[in-house]
Amino acid sequence: MSQAVEVQADALVPRHGDPSYGVEHYDLDLTWKHLGNHLSGRAVLDLVVERPTRRLVLDLHALTVGKLSVQGARLAQWNHRQGRLVLKLGSELAAGSRVRVTVAYAGVPRPVPGPDGEAGWEELEDGVIVASQPHGAPSWFPCNDRPSDKATYRIGLTVASGYTVVANGRLVEKRAASSRTTWVHVQDQPMATYLATAQIGRYLSRPLNGASVPVTIVHPARLTAAVATGFARQVEMLEVFTRFFGAYPFDSYTVVVTDDDLEIPLESQGLSTFGANYARTDWGAQRLIAHELSHQWFGNSLTLAHWRDIWLHEGFACYAEWLWSEESGGPSAAEQARRHWTRLHAQPQDLVLADPGPTELFDDRIYTRGALVLQALRLTVGDAAFFDLLRAWVAEHRYGSITTADFTAAAAAHSGLDLGDLFRRWLHQPKLPALPPAR
């Protein structure tokens, strides 16, 4: 067996991802047994080599590989250690080569540890939640775990009948056999690995009417009344954000509410997951319902190429909260900005927004300062130009990978203004600037 060689794709999430290839499609067939939380699976990855290489490195944590095969290249040796599945090839593959890798694996999935905590497959009291941001995807399938590598997916998951499975994309098949049911979802739009999810529970499913795309709420029976009240404005939120950001980017939107309480909600591509404790009407819950929905545009359709640019997700989602506040009869975005600026000004001035480092990746200042960047930009260019920019940004980079440099260039091009000093002070210097006067 060969020795694993470290391949670093992103400095903020080390020992994840391989930049030498990209995955075009993942085909997953999985079986989950609720007794013992046992997962077995077969993953087929269709790869395209991006730079000449003699080895391919996949990420797979805690699970045991039983069988591995490669089509399109000769497999000389393979090794699976410390979450890295290294395939040594018999000869170098040229850029553009296509390879199919098939991995059969099984075991008890566990969350993946990282500088910011654990992420990935997690057993609930009676079901499963998959929350993979930023490094948890290898907890349940072999993958090229870097956010810039976006692929299409087919996710087939067999569970005991009585459980509901919600995964990314369209439910294309549901078949029962004996005491088990297989659910098959297809995600046609490219998706980063950390956004792939499977939610398993004893759930009811209820469509919400009146939206421009199908919207569904999935929840346990005991929470029917609380969910109906807490998510009563979900469709209205979607229509407001469609007006501000452009067409909703996916085929549908699903909200999963678990029977368990959760510390934080999470977004995945085409769906968001909330604990039972978020089925409430107060602002603390409603702002997060808006926040997770807005990630469908900012984070899921438009996905950062490198984790240092996380403000392009969280700053935009935080600003979406302020927009929803304004639209729903609460404080205006300007009032929210002034209040958060005052709070942020009292905190340490030691974070560089465009490159926060691994331990500050989800620091609250990323969210609020990121939103303040947008308010500063709005005040500088004016409302009409600002919202035109947001819609153009979303349309031009739909389903793509983005960077801070991409956004600052787009802002300058669409506004016709020199915004270099504004972005330099807000994004690349730790001291919090003052908000500019309105244009």
Distance CA 329, CA 283 (A): 11
What CATH number does domain 203-296 carry, 3.30.2010.30, 3.40.50.1980, 3.10.450.50, 3.40.50.720?
3.30.2010.30
- Contact indicator for 371, 354 with CB cutoff of 8 Å: no
**292-318: pLDDT as tens digits:** 999 999 999 999 999 999 999 999 999
Domain with CATH 1.10.390.10 in the chain: 303-427
- Contact indicator for 109, 137 with CB cutoff of 8 Å: no
Per-residue pLDDT, 9: 86
Distance CA 144, CA 346 (A): 40
Burial class (CB in 10 A: 0-12, 13-18, 19+), 104: middle
**Structure tokens given for 261:** 């309480």
| Element at 171 (helix H, strand E) | strand 170-177
Instruction: State the helix-helix crossing angle for 234-245 and 311-327, rounded to 10 degrees.
Output: 120
Checking if the pLDDT of 388 tops 70, the result is yes
Checking if the pLDDT of 201 tops 70, the result is yes
Radius of gyration from C-alpha coordinates of the chain: 22
Distance CA 144, CA 192 (A): 9
pTM as predicted: 0.96
Domain with CATH 2.60.40.1730 in the chain: 1-202
Segment 196-206 shows an average pLDDT of 98
In percent, the amount of the chain with pLDDT more than 90 equals 95
Q: What residues are paired with 401 via a beta bridge?
A: 303
Per-residue pLDDT, 29: 98
Checking if the pLDDT of 246 tops 60, the result is yes
Segment 198-222 shows an average pLDDT of 97
Per-residue pLDDT, 117: 87
Per-residue pLDDT, 4: 41
Q: Specify the DSSP class assigned to residue 16.
A: -
Q: What is the mean pLDDT of the chain?
A: 96
**Structure tokens given for 74:** 């000769």
Q: Specify the DSSP class assigned to residue 112.
A: B
Segment 29-40 shows an average pLDDT of 97
Indicate the pLDDT class of residue 6, thresholds 50, 70 and 90: low
Segment 190-198 shows an average pLDDT of 98
Distance CA 14, CA 20 (A): 15
Distance CA 7, CA 130 (A): 25
Q: What residues are paired with 206 via a beta bridge?
A: 217
**139-180: pLDDT as tens digits:** 999 999 999 999 999 999 999 999 999 999 999 999 999 899
**94-104: pLDDT as tens digits:** 999 999 999 99
| Element at 366 (helix H, strand E) | helix 364-381
Distance CA 113, CA 102 (A): 25
Nearest to 200 by CA among 33, 25, 44: 33
- Tell me, which fold does domain 1-202 have in CATH? Immunoglobulin-like (2.60.40)
What CATH number does domain 303-427 carry, 1.10.390.10, 1.20.200.10, 1.10.260.40, 3.40.1010.10?
1.10.390.10
**Structure tokens given for 316:** 């935009």
Residue with tokens 């900012």: 298
394 vs 358, residue with greater confidence: 394
Q: How many residues does the chain have?
A: 439
Checking if the pLDDT of 1 tops 80, the result is no
Domain with CATH 3.30.2010.30 in the chain: 203-296
Nearest to 55 by CA among 128, 4, 124, 125: 4
**390-433: pLDDT as tens digits:** 999 999 999 999 999 999 999 999 999 999 999 999 999 999 99
Checking if the pLDDT of 212 tops 50, the result is yes
Distance CA 198, CA 403 (A): 28
Distance CA 73, CA 47 (A): 11
| Cβ-based neighbours of 225, under 8 Å, separated by 6 or more | none
Per-residue pLDDT, 5: 47
Q: What residues are paired with 40 via a beta bridge?
A: 31, 106
| Distance in Å from the first CA to the final CA of the chain | 65
